[in-house]
A and B are shown apart, each in its own frame.
Chain A
């Protein structure tokens, strides 16, 4: 089983739609979690950290459920510029606190 699993998509949605991505992680010792965004042929960039209490940044909301080892990202009022691959990331305990990446979920927002 992969340490971080995501639905690869692609998710094709119309502009203005709400879309949700899910992610599960297998290492219960994982300490922190992030959503990164990666545009085609570019480096990953942090979208937001994920906190147990849930957190919101504008149109983006992230949730963490430690009991179910589940992370989600909700994007409201999708824009064309949201088209990208969204990477779910966990940071483990020890071993350099390395980041483990999911394979990413591709989002395409269409007119």
Chain B
């Protein structure tokens, strides 16, 4: 009954460091998404994937990379972390078109 699992839950990075945010889902969903949410703001789409091996940019992709080698996993890579990347990151998945998305619990990232 895990749904969408994100790790880590919290992380502090120094400017210029890199890290990977992990996301895995056990619902066999084709669609997966990465969003970021800044304080008092809506969720903004970073990258999305419609299936294994297929990824595409969302609204705010700069500074991030993704891969989708399996249906279950959709990691988000931050290269050269910047203070502007301080945010809460949510991974989500959905079965397909016109269906609801299920979210992970989020990763709170602070870049100092």
Chain A interface (Cβ < 8 Å from any Cβ of B): 4, 31-32, 34, 42-46, 49, 87, 91, 95-104
Contact = CB atoms under 8 A, between A and B. Distances in A.
A45 B103 contact: yes
A49 B100 contact: yes
B42 A87 contact: yes
B58 interface: yes
Interface of B: 31, 33, 35, 40-43, 45, 48-50, 56, 58, 90, 92, 94, 96-98, 100-106
Nearest to B105: A43
Contacts of A97: 31, 94, 96-98
Contacts of B96: 97
Given A44-B43, A103-B42, A98 B98 contact: no
Contacts of A100: 45
A95 B56 contact: yes
B90 A44 contact: yes
B50 to A, nearest CB: 5
Contact of A31 (B45, B50, B98): B98
Contacts of B102: 46
